[in-house]
Amino acid sequence: MNRRNFIRNASALSTLTILKPNVVFASNNNTAVRIGLVGCGSRARGILGSMAANSNIQITALADIFEDKLSEWLKYANELNGKNGHTAVDRRNCYTGYDSYLRLLDNQNIDAVIIASPAYTHPGILEATVSAGKHVYCEKPTAIDAGGCKLAIRAGKNVNGRISAFDGFQIRYATPYVEMANRIKRGDIGDIVSVQLYYFSSGARIIPHDGMSYDEMRIRNHYHFHEISGGCYLDQAIHMIDVCNWVLGTNPLYAIGLGGRKGGPDFGNAWTNYQVIYKYPDDINVNVQSSKFGDYFGDVCAKFIGTEGYAEAHYSGGVFINGKNSWDSGIARSAGDLTPESIARGASSSSLDTADPNKGKAFIDSIVSGKYINQLESGSNSTLTAILGREAASRQEKITWDELMYSAQEIDHGLNLKQFTSK
């Protein structure tokens, strides 16, 4: 089943109810926002665990292509609901199968949907969720190809004033990054000359797949398959690319790059490493390195180099500015900087402690307040930037932003989804 057929399923449901959030929440801010989850995997735990700890939500419905994934997640959902004084998820609101998201969207007791399924599904489920009039939080990447991103942008044009639509780029909500970005934008490092970005990750584990069909094996091991996940550049380097686009306030003009599969397992077809150079407006050069293989997680960093200093942000290892207008966020730059005294003052070894909590709370607050936020275009542009770099590397040729935007690129996942029947 290709994307066109996948998306067409959404229009087959005539009973989708358009939600009117202002009616639901304006009169009672103590009302829990009722959440439906599509994609019962590990990333969803981070999103909803944080939301439940910082906002009044009730997990109401679950959907996944596989019964075992849903059953595992149901226990966790009920734990989160119990901690917040809410009832357990009704088993009748648990849906499995390739079209389970459609039945979840038809549930009138859901206010907002979290999309945390494999990346190849994002555009179709996102469009269907917007059409259903439900608030949506869609994990990154927005899509694995240009066609999917353009679909999301079109869907986003129908969002303003009706619902909140959030992307999964949580670093824009991490307090140290926000302060660094504000300082760069006001000129604390002068004119930006170049940017260095990197994300060095350990490899994804291989899920045992004896007795599975080829399609089930690929879905369960989606990080190892380019046509299912979009590759590690879209899964991980994309975070730093989003930070770059956010700070620079624009998209690149073109990209060139290299990469390959060296160092990875003899399994799947996803590349293990990318090296990409972008040209941005105002003669700014951006260098991105990304790798995903082996047993050891490395560093993640964004470094902005200007005429009056440089700003540097690590996942662990500090967020700071050196130069004419030096500044430090207080995040420890090394383990030796963490002492009992510094910890008592609020020091941390991670710059991301506030990222998920702040973003999740902002999503729920926007729903409760009726001050809806639409992030679909910015999230799609960051995804398109990553796709531009990935394609330049895989083709080993210069590709411009305009070429990508005018292309009809659509990656065929090659899955026979109808074998995963609904339950």
Segments making up each domain of the chain, as ranges: 3-171+365-375, 172-353+383-406
- Say how far apart CA 99 and CA 383 lie, in whole Å: 25
- Above 80 in pLDDT, residue 347? no
φ, ψ at 71 (rounded to 5°): -65, -40
Task: Note the residue count of the chain.
Answer: 423
Mean pLDDT for the stretch of residues 32-57? 96
The predicted pLDDT at position 345 comes to 45
Chain-centroid distance, C-alpha 194: 25
Position 101 pLDDT exceeds 50? yes
Q: Could you tell me the pLDDT band of residue 348, with boundaries at 50, 70 and 90?
A: low
Q: What does the angle CA 371 – CA 107 – CA 101 come to, to the nearest 5 degrees?
A: 90
CA distances for 108 relative to 38, 103, 133, angstroms: 16, 10, 11
Tell me what percent of the residues of the chain surpass a pLDDT of 70.
89
Average pLDDT score, the chain: 91
Q: What is the pLDDT of residue 25?
A: 59
pLDDT at res. 160: 76
Q: DSSP letter for 236, please.
A: I
What is residue 316's predicted lDDT score, i.e. its pLDDT? 84
- Residue 332, pLDDT > 90, answer no
Please determine, for residue 327, whether its predicted confidence score (pLDDT) is greater than 70: yes
Mean pLDDT of 320-345: 73
Say yes or no to pLDDT of 108 above 80: yes
The confidence score (pLDDT) of residue 274 equals 98
Please check whether residue 331 is in contact with residue 349, taking contact to mean a CB–CB distance below 8 angstroms. yes
| Higher pLDDT among residues 18 and 254, named by residue | 254
- For the record, the structure tokens of 220 come out as 């369960």
Q: What is the 3-state secondary structure (H, E, C) of 235-248?
A: HHHHHHHHHHHHHH
Cβ–Cβ < 8 Å for 120, 413:
yes
Contact 90, 14 (CB under 8 A): no
Residue 322: CB atoms within 10 Å: 13
Identify the CATH number of the domain defined by range 172-353+383-406.
3.30.360.10
Q: Are strands 284-292 and 165-167 parallel, antiparallel or unpaired?
A: unpaired
pLDDT(3) > 70 = no
Residue 334's pLDDT is: 65
pLDDT at 423: 60
The DSSP bridge partners found for residue 328 are: 320
Cα 16 from Cα 211, distance rounded (Å): 37
d(CA 231, CA 240): 15
Asked whether 194 and 284 are in contact (CB, 8 A), the reply is: yes
Name residue, tokens 């859901």: 110
In this structure, which CATH number among 3.40.50.1820, 3.50.50.60, 3.40.50.720, 3.40.630.30 belongs to the domain 3-171+365-375? 3.40.50.720
In the block, which residue shows the tokens 């389970």? Answer: 100
Contacts of 419 (CB under 8 A, 6+ apart): 213, 215
Bridge partner list, 257: 276
Task: For residues 91 and 107, give the distance between their C-alpha atoms in angstroms, rounded to a whole number.
Answer: 13
Q: What percent of the chain has pLDDT over 90?
A: 85
Q: What is the pLDDT of residue 421?
A: 86
Phi, psi of 289 (to 5 degrees): -120, 135
Q: Where does the pLDDT of residue 341 fall: very low under 50, low under 70, confident under 90, or very high at 90 and above?
A: very low
pLDDT exceeds 60 at position 340:
no
pLDDT tens digit sequence for 264-315? 999 999 999 999 999 999 999 999 999 999 999 999 999 999 999 999 999 9
Give the tens place of pLDDT for each residue, 366-390: 999 999 999 999 999 999 999 999 9
Contact 340, 333 (CB under 8 A): no
pLDDT of residue 30: 63
- Separation in Å, CA 374 to CA 98, 202, 213, 367: 28, 33, 39, 12
Judge residue 4's burial from the number of C-beta atoms within 10 Å of its C-beta, 0-12 exposed, 13-18 middle, 19 or more buried: exposed
Place 119 in a pLDDT band, splitting at 50, 70 and 90.
very high
What single-letter DSSP state applies at residue 99? T
Instruction: For residue 289, list its beta bridge partners.
Output: 198, 275
Measured CA distances, 376 to 148, 307, 363, 401 (Å): 12, 33, 13, 18
> In terms of Cα–Cα distance, which of 217, 218, 231, 240 is closest to 261?
231
